[in-house]
Structure 1
Amino acid sequence: MVNGDYNCTYYDQAAQRWRYSPMAVACDNILSDSACKVLYPDRGGYPDADSLHDRPLQCYTTATVTPAAIVDDMKKAAIASCPKNCGLCCQTPAYNCSNVAYPRLNCATITKAQCDSVAWRTIIAQDCPASCGFCNQGGCVDAILDCANDISICNTVGMQDFVNTYCQKTCNRCPSTTTIRSIVASACTSYNADSSTLCAAWALNGFCTNAFYTLAQRKAYCARTCRIC
């Protein structure tokens, strides 16, 4: 069972025990997996989402038994080298930030498939960056994962609408920092419901950020999706 360091865990009321959250193992190790196994030998298994395997003691302490005091230097070294094997991904820089107060989707239930989905990546980067390791992205990511495989597309005639929508990070087409901040840090406590069922698709095409559309139009059709008070 989980002992010692309870970061990246949740308490299972039914079973009355601590389990690892999906964010505990959402990242990759910095060092090779084989090196991490040597540095952090498991105790019957490594942490995994919902599992009960305890962390290697070397991930957080110099003691040989549990419960043991957390040693900051040991934990910092683990996060910087083998965060996945130690079940500490949620405390790496990419995952250790706050999601917005009123996201457009439930940040706690986001899956790896959604993190990679063209339909959700840009929204998640703005509303739930900690759920997908987007904390260092400034609210802007490529909607399509392989944009960077051919950066010539950024200047290809006839592809500008495409890259403006799906390759914003790679092609430096992200909305301004001010625009992103206004979306991510909105102080609204509630939003009017969207009047259109097409808002998610429209948002992917720039409806919420493109100056072509007026504030009145955004508020009338997609107040919640565009996060307009």
Structure 2
Amino acid sequence: MNGKHLACVDLVNPRTGVSDCPSRAYLCNNTVYFTLMTQQCPKTCNRCPGTVTPGSSCRDLVNPTTGVSDCPRMASYCRNSAYLALMRQQCPKTCGYCV
């Protein structure tokens, strides 16, 4: 790595010449499309490296089944590169990504 950061941009649809990401933003947190959306739409999905969650909206997501956040018990994944985007999205408070 040369220390330079790549620009965080959404990919462009080669057929239309524009990104489909804004119209597909609803898929950003869909578990089926999470990885694909992270790769193709990082800007739209707020998954750019170094993205920080603003303090006023900084809270961990709640597990809809239990009604509580799973983040405290998942904190060991906060710095695991395989889970970084997921943890940044779902557990910003626990992982210390808040401003």
Q: Same fold (TM over 0.5)?
A: no
TM-score (norm 1): 0.19
Greater Rg over alpha carbons, structure: 1
